[in-house]
């Protein structure tokens, strides 16, 4: 009986190791900065990244939903469905309770694109609608070698779909913080060049008579004040595999 037992154990171990080899997770690049834009293929300009980031923040602030775009050069031997679903899971797109995330994935070299939709938004963006969004707002630009415009137009369309789901049919609203900042700047009534001269003079006098104490104190206060506006990560959402993919 012992030889049979040993053989059985060896067979079981071999089977487990083989199974583990096929069960490896797809390695995703670690997210950088706000979850809304992960442009590892360097498709977008800084201005476009900022625009998408602002749109993403606005949507999340108004709905708790998250929309993210991920660009990579290649997904290797994986299918676009596998890659997008795993990216969605690892990044945790959307609110954990509502699972209201949407992920747009583009593999530039592979010429593949997919919209991955979280459980909570599959009613608003079913597979058929996700496919139509790609056909109308992404594929024409991609076929014209304009992946950046494909991303922007698709992201905006998805944003409006999400807002509509939460009863905001009017579409995107301008962030209040930006409006407040503009009002504050207008209220100063001081030309920017004069303000710069005043700052330089004050800093010079501070270092000459007080050793820079006031300057360092002010910089410390400013840095602490900015600390509350850190990068936003994923909210822990998950996807049920809904969405649509295309090649071009």
In 10 A of CB 37, how many CB atoms?
A: 23
Number of domains in the chain: 2
Q: Is the pTM of this model over 0.95?
A: no
- For residue 224, pLDDT beyond 90: no
**The pLDDT of residue 168:** 77
Please state which of the ranges 58-62, 172-176, 211-215 shows the lowest mean pLDDT: 172-176
**The pLDDT of residue 189:** 56
Give the pLDDT band of residue 125 (cuts 50, 70, 90).
Answer: very high
Report the run of H or E that residue 243 belongs to, with start and end: strand 239-247
Q: Are residues 203 and 153 in the same domain?
A: no
- Structural domain containing residue 61: 37-172+239-247
Give the pLDDT band of residue 199 (cuts 50, 70, 90).
Answer: confident
Q: Are residues 45 and 163 in the same domain?
A: yes
In 10 A of CB 114, how many CB atoms?
A: 25
**The pLDDT of residue 37:** 96
CB 120 within 8 A of CB 104: no
Alpha helices in 27-175, H assignment, sequence order: 46-63, 80-91, 127-137, 139-143, 147-165
Please state which of the ranges 50-64, 115-129, 131-145, 216-230 shows the lowest mean pLDDT: 216-230
In degrees, to the nearest 5, what angle opens at C-alpha 46 toward C-alphas 43 and 52? 80
**Spatial strand order in the sheet of 112-118:** 37-39, 66-72, 101-107, 112-118, 239-247
| Residue 77 is assigned to a structural domain of this protein | yes
**The pLDDT of residue 204:** 77
| Residue 179 is assigned to a structural domain of this protein | no
> What six digits make up the tokens of 145?
């070698």
CB 93 within 8 A of CB 101: yes
Q: Are residues 42 and 77 in the same domain?
A: yes
Query: How confident is the model over 135-157, as a mean pLDDT?
Result: 97
Query: How confident is the model over 83-103, as a mean pLDDT?
Result: 92
Q: Are residues 194 and 104 in the same domain?
A: no
Q: Are residues 75 and 108 in the same domain?
A: yes
* Among 37, 240, 243, residue whose Cα is nearest residue 119: 240
């Amino acid at each position: 009986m012992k030889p049979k037992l040993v053989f059985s154990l060896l067979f079981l171990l071999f089977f487990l190791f083989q199974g583990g080899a096929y069960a490896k997770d797809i390695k995703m690049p670690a997210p950088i900065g706000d979850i809304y834009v992960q442009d590892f293929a360097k498709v977008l300009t800084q201005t476009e990244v900022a625009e998408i980031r602002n749109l993403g923040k606005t949507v999340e602030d108004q709905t708790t939903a998250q929309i993210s775009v991920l660009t990579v050069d290649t997904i290797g031997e994986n299918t676009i469905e596998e890659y997008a679903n795993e990216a969605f899971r690892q990044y945790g797109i959307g609110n954990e309770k509502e699972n209201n995330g949407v992920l747009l994935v583009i593999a530039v070299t592979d010429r593949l694109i997919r919209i991955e939709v979280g459980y909570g938004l599959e009613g608003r963006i079913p597979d058929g609608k996700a496919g139509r969004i790609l056909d109308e707002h992404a594929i024409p630009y991609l076929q014209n070698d304009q992946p950046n415009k494909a991303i922007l137009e698709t992201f905006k369309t998805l944003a409006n779909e999400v807002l509509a789901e939460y009863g905001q049919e009017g579409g995107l609203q301008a962030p209040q913080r930006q409006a407040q900042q503009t009002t504050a700047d207008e209220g100063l009534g001081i030309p920017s060049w004069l303000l710069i001269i005043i700052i330089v003079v004050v800093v010079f006098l501070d270092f000459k008579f007080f050793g820079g104490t006031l300057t360092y104190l002010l910089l410390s206060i400013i840095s602490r004040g900015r600390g509350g506006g850190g990068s936003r990560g994923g909210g822990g959402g998950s996807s049920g595999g809904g969405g649509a993919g295309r090649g071009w």
